[in-house]
Chains A and B, each alone.
Chain A
Amino acid sequence: GDSVTQMEGPVTLSEEAFLTINCTYTATGYPSLFWYVQYPGEGLQLLLKATKADDKGSNKGFEATYRKETTSFHLEKGSVQVSDSAVYFCALSDYGNNRLAFGKGNQVVVIP
């Protein structure tokens, strides 16, 4: 079935550092890909999305490119802020399938 794999473990980095969170997926069709963010005490929010190969999703300085050849959708930000501290989830929705399949999430802690 469809699945998403995120890199293991929390990510701790200093303010203004470069952030990368790896995400790979397995899908039988041509999925749409998403990154959701969960700030402390809040619900899941859509951060960015991409619907087809080579699409780049971007929002709030974050970017991710849909790479069909490597089945990946890595999240990047060039200069993180303390306010970016949150849990980040990669997810996919396959064509004709109405459910989202999520990865386990990565806790990101940005230290001043």
Chain B
Amino acid sequence: DTGVSQDPRHKITKRGQNVTFRCDPISEHNRLYWYRQTLGQGPEFLTYFQNEAQLEKSRLLSDRFSAERPKGSFSTLEIQRTEQGDSAMYLCASSSRLEGLNEQFFGPGTRLTVL
């Protein structure tokens, strides 16, 4: 079990550019979540997948954000036309309902800096 992995770990971009992050969940976990964490705050929910279906999206997920999980395994989070306010840590988590309690396991995160 290698845990949840995220790539890249750090991303610096200029305002207006597009960025894409990848998350690989724990194998056989059918649920995958994206959260955003800004400095001094707790993580905030962005979106959730069960297998390949995106079942829930937060109001925080503006139309510049899109997430996919095409084969029910890894997921990507794309931000178009980045803004300085997008600077944050983007966290991915996975879980399996088969494990009973919906315990979520988190990856190390991708830190985005928009200049």
Contact = CB atoms under 8 A, between A and B. Distances in A.
A102 interface: yes
A104 B43 CA distance: 8
Contacts of A43: 4, 91, 106-109
B28 interface: no
A98 B103 contact: no
Contact of A102 (B43, B48, B105): B43
Given A32-B102, A43-B91, A45-B106, A98 B56 contact: yes
Contacts of A104: 40-42
Contacts of B35: 100
Nearest to A4: B42
A44 interface: yes
A44 B31 contact: no
Contact of B101 (A32, A42, A99): A32
Interface of A: 4, 32, 34, 36, 42-46, 49, 51, 89, 91, 93, 98-105
Interface of B: 4, 31, 33, 35, 40-45, 48, 50, 55-56, 58, 91, 93, 101-109
